[in-house]
Amino acid sequence: MEIIRSFVAIELPADLKEQIDAYQKQLKRFCKSVRWVNSQSLHVTLKFLGNREKDLVERVRQNLQVTEGMFEGFRITIRNFGAFPGKRSPRVFWLGVDSEPRESLFELFVSIENKLHSLGFEKEKRRFSPHLTLARVKKPERFDALWNFAEKHPFEPYSFAVKEFVLMQSFLKPDGAVYKPIQKYSL
């Protein structure tokens, strides 16, 4: 039985990934015990599906086709460097994601949640908080210099039109995950 690791996401434009890469390089000098995400693999996750049987992933692929054309395209803006659960004891560093109109991204997320719930996927218990994961903290350290730098040098906001989302397969490799689109869905 073939198992596929997958998720549903919005891909980012190449020039945004370059801008994020440059920002990550500036931040890296303030962090010792942080594992940075390769900027080329960044995306806005809408639903993580995990390791599932190939047949179920095929049903997901078909089920998501129903959403094609149900939503109008919208814009998202990447801005604001932050951390989960917060600045004092961060475990994840991120850039925030806002949509215009504001409710568009949330409505797409809810639609995908509902479609996949009908296939047996659990609904997300945490509040939807769209973001780009820049890095994961491996062990606690003081990040005062990082926060001072980020305050004085905020990430330059970047907006782009969202016209599709994608069902993506994830391959875990020693130097980070590699992603391959299974299917793209137009808005």
- Where are the chain's structural domains? 3-186
- Determine the number of helices (DSSP H) and then strands (DSSP E) in the chain: 4, 9
Percent of the chain scoring above 90 in pLDDT = 86
Condensed to tens digits (0 to 9), the pLDDT of residues 39-63 reads: 999 999 999 999 999 999 999 999 9
In the set 43, 47, 52, 115, the catalytic residue is 43
Condensed to tens digits (0 to 9), the pLDDT of residues 90-148 reads: 999 999 999 999 899 999 999 999 999 999 999 999 899 999 999 999 988 889 999 99
- The reported pTM is 0.92
CATH assignment, 3-186: 3.90.1140.10
> Cα–Cα distance between 54 and 4 in angstroms, integer?
6
Q: List the structure tokens of 119.
A: 């296939």
Hey, is 70 helix, strand or coil? coil
Predicted confidence at residue 141, as pLDDT, reads 87
CA dihedral 25, 26, 29, 32 (to 10 degrees): -60
Condensed to tens digits (0 to 9), the pLDDT of residues 57-97 reads: 999 999 999 888 888 999 999 999 999 999 989 999 999 99
Residue type, 98: D
Q: Residue 176 pLDDT > 80, yes or no? A: no
In the set 61, 131, 147, 177, the catalytic residue is 131
117 is catalytic: no
